[in-house]
Structure 1
Amino acid sequence: MNDGDRHEIARLLPAPADQDLPPEQHFRRKELLMHRIDREIAQETDRERDARTRQGRRLLRPALLAPATALTLAGALAAGVALNGGAREHSGTSAHGVATDMRPAAALLGRISDAAGERTVPRVRDDQFVYTREKLQGADLTSGKAVIDPLAERESWSAQEPGPLHKLGLVRENGETLPINAQLGDTDGTPAGLSRPTYSWFATLPTDPDKLLAYFYAHTPFAEGRGRDQAVFEQIGSLLGGMMPPATAAALYQAAAKIPGVTAAPQAHDAIGRRGLGIARDDARYGVRTEWVFDKKDYSFLGSRSYLIKGRSYGKAGTLLSSEAELEIDVVDKAGERP
C-alpha cells in the first residue's frame, strides 16, 4: 500500500491512529479494509462478467434469427441515447465533468458559502495553537466485522507554525494526552499543507472557486482504482470546520459545489445525533457514502459521517464507518491550554 492508498482510505476509519494507536496497528487496519474491499470488488466483477457472457450466449441466436427485431431495438437504443443526451445537457454537468447549475446541493452550498464568507474568525498567529473539541465514533475492522467503537471525546491542539515540524501538537482522549508526531515518511518534519492545514496556509490558497478546485485536483493524492472526484470531495471534507479566513471558507464550499456527483442529504446527522443540512457523495466503487452536516440556522459545520451503502462481508448497508461532531474550535497560546 502506497501513501496515496493510505490517504484515500483514511476517511473510512476512525481518527488517525498515530495519535492513539501504535502506527503498525493503524496501518494494519487500513490495509485490511483496502484489501478486503478490493477482493470483494474483484469477485463481484468476475460474477458480473460471467453473467454478461451467459446472457450474451442466450441472446445470440434470437438476434440472428430476427433481424427486424434487432433493427427495432437499435432504433430504440438510438432514441434512448438522444433522450439521455438531452437529460445530461440539463443535468448541470459541463463537458469536462464539473457541475454548473443550481441543483439542490449547489444551491445549499451557495448559501453555506455566503454564511462562511460573512463569519467573523480570529486572526491566528504562527506561534499559537488551534484548539478543537469533538465527539468521534468509528468502526474497527480488524476482526473481519465492523465493530463500532464507543463514542469518545477528543481535544486537540494543532501547531500553527509553517514548519516543517516534528511535533505537530497534542491530542487528549480518554484521560491520556499524547503528542501528534510528524506524518509518516516526513523525516525532516511535516510542513504546513493539505496534511497539516494552518491558518496561514489556508490564507495562501486561491479564493477563486475554479482555481481552488484546480488546486485540489492537482495536489490531492489519488490511489489506484479510486475516483478523482471522490478523492477531492473527501480531501475538502477533511478541512471543513478548520480555522481559516472567511474568504477561503467561502471559496471552499463553492469549489465543492462544482464536484460531479455531489448531492443534498436531507436526513444527515452528526455523531451526537444533531440533524442538519446535509451534503453527500457516494463512492460507487467502494459502496461508501460520505456526508457533511451543517446547522440549519447559521450554516456552520456540525460534523460528518461515512457509512456503507452496499453490503460487504464485514457489514451490511447502513453500517457506520466513521462519524464526528465538532463541539468547539478556538485559538490558544499554548498546547494543552483550554479556551
Structure 2
Amino acid sequence: MNDNATGASPERRDDREEIARLLPAPADWDLPCEQHLRHKDLLMHHIDHDRVVRTRPARPLLRPAVLAPLTALALACAVTAGIALTGGDPAPADTASRRAATDVQPAAALLYRISDATETRADLTVRDDQFAYTREKRRGADLTGGKAVLGPLVDREVWAAQEQGPLRKLGMIRENGATFPVNAELGDAEGTPAGINRPTYRWLSSLPTEPDELLTYLYAKTPQADGRERDQAVFEQIGSLLGGVMPPRTGAALYRAAAKIPGVTPAPQARDAIGRKGLGIARDDTRYGIRTEWVFDKEDFAFLGSRSYLTKDTSYGKAGTLLSSAAELEHAIVDEAGRQPTDAQRTQTERQS
C-alpha cells in the first residue's frame, strides 16, 4: 500500500521509527525483545495514519539488532552539543561541524586516559555456567501517545547467561521487585548464540584488541539501517557493550576505537540517571536530532552510565527533552540467575568498575 493510501508521512515515519529504535526496550520481559519491536513497529504505523502525506518515497523500516545486549539494554542517545538540560536552540550544522573538528582531539585524549585506566583493572575468570550481574537505575520516555512522556526512575537487576549457546533462555531481569525471564525470539528453535547482540565475557575476550582492527570489525558487524549514519551506529554499538562486566583489554580497545570515530566530542555537562556528574563523551546524530552521551567517573574513569536527549524541536518535544538515562551501580559474576553477589564477588567487581 502506498503512502497516499495510508495517509502516512514517510519522513515522519522514519523519524518516529528511528527515535523508537534508540529508546530502551520495554520492561515486560516475558516477551522477547524482537516481539516488542514488532509491536512497536505496528504502533508507529498506526500513529502515522493521521500524519500529512509527503511525496518523498518511503524508505525501508529502520530496525535495531534482534536482541539488545543484556548488560546494556539501552543505548545511550541524546542532547545537542552545547544545549543545556532545559533546552535551547540547536547549533547550525556548519557550526556543529566546526566544533566537531576542533573537539575531536580533546575527546580522543580523554578516551585514551579512560582506556589506560581500564587496561590496569583485574581480569576475571568466568565460567560458561555463570551469569553476569548488573544492578542499575534507569528511566525512559514513552512515545506511544505522540509526545515524549518521561517515566519514573526504576531499579533494575539483570542476570545474563554466559554460556556460548545458542540459548533459548538468555537470563533474567528484576525490575522494581517483579521478575521476568529473558528468552530468545519465539519460533527461533536454535536460540541466540554469544555475539554482538548477546556479548558474553568469553566472546568479548575474543575481540581484537588493536583499535583499528577492532573498529574495522565493528563497522562490519554493526547492523545496517537505510538512512542511518554509519559512524553514529558504530558509536552506539560500542555504547551498548559498555556498562557490564568487561575484560580489561577489550574495554581499553573499545575506548581507543571510539576515539577514532569522526564527530566524537567531550560533553562537560554529562550526568547519569541519578545526577552523578562526570567526564562526558558524546556524538550527535544530526539526521534525527539526538545526542548520545557516555558518563565516566572523574577519579577512576569508571563508566557511570548514559543519557539521551532530543537536540531539536520535534513532534515528541522540544530540544533538551530527555529520552532515556541509566546509572550503573554494581557489576559481578554470580553462579545463579536471581542470586545477588556475595561480598567476595563485590570485591572482584570493584576492581572492574
Partner of 2:24 in structure 1?
Answer: 14
| Corresponding residue SS for 1:211 | helix
> Which amino acid in structure 1 is aligned with residue 25 of structure 2?
A
CA shift at 1:255, angstroms?
0.3
Residue of structure 2 aligned with 1:308, choices 292, 307, 310: 310
Per the normalisation by structure 1, the TM-score is 0.76
| Partner amino acid, structure 2, of 1:245 | P
Contact 1:166/1:190 (<8 A) preserved: yes
Residue 215 of structure 2 corresponds to residue 213 of structure 1: yes
- Structure 1 counterpart SS, 2:304: strand
> Are the structure 2 counterparts of residues 148 and 44 from structure 1 closer, same or farther at C-alpha, using a change threshold of 3 Å?
farther
Residue equivalent to 2:40: 29
Q: What is the CA–CA distance in structure 2 between the aligned matches of 1:6 and 1:335, rounded to whole Å?
A: 35
Counterpart among 175, 179, 182 of residue 180 in structure 1? 182
**Which amino acid in structure 1 is aligned with residue 272 of structure 2?**
D
Deviation at 1:44, TM superposition (A): 12
Quick one: distance in 1 between partners of 2:17 and 2:163?
Answer: 23
The alignment yields a C-alpha RMSD, in angstroms, of 3.2
Which amino acid counterpart does residue 22 of structure 2 have in structure 1?
Answer: L
CA contact (8 A) 2:137 2:153 kept: yes
Query: Quick one: structure 1 residues 227 and 107, their matched pair in 2 at CA, closer, same or farther if it must change by over 3 Å?
Result: same
Distance across 2 between alignment mates of 1:108 and 1:34:
42
Deviation larger for 7-16 or 172-181: 7-16
Contact 1:288/1:309 (8 A) holds in 2: yes
Residue identity matched to 2:38? F
Q: Paired residue for 2:233, among 227, 231, 252?
A: 231
Change (3 A) 1:268 1:154: same
Distance 2:295 2:52 in 1: 29
Kindly, what percent of the aligned residue pairs are identical? 67
Which is further off, 23-32 or 296-305? Answer: 23-32
Matching residue of 1:118: 120
Q: In structure 1, what residue type is equivalent to 2:219?
A: Y
- Counterpart pick for 1:266 among 268, 272, 293: 268
Q: Which amino acid aligns with 1:113?
A: S
Give the structure with the larger helix fraction. Answer: 1
| 1:44–1:329 Cα change, 3 Å | farther
Distance 2:262 2:187 in 1: 33
Please give the alpha-carbon distance, in whole angstroms, between the structure 2 residues aligned to 1:256 and 1:282: 14
Check the 8 A contact 1:9/1:30 in 2, yes or no: no
Higher relative contact order (CA 8 A, sep 6+): 2
In structure 2, C-alpha distance between the alignment counterparts of 1:308 and 1:141, rounded to whole Å: 13
Code of the residue aligned with 2:235 in structure 1: it is F
Unaligned runs of 5+ in 1: 47-83, 93-100
- Aligned partner of 1:141: which letter? L
Q: Letter of the aligned partner of 1:307 in structure 2?
A: Y
Q: For the residues of structure 1 that align with 2:186 and 2:232, how far apart are their CA atoms? A: 23
Which position in structure 2 is the counterpart of 1:61? Answer: none
- Structure whose CA Rg is larger: 1
Query: How big is the shift at 1:186?
Result: 3.7
- Identify the residue that residue 173 of structure 2 maps to in structure 1: 171
The answer for unaligned runs of 5 or more in structure 2 is: 1-14, 58-93, 342-353
Give runs of ≥4 in structure 1 deviating > 4 Å: 5-11, 20-26, 30-37, 39-46
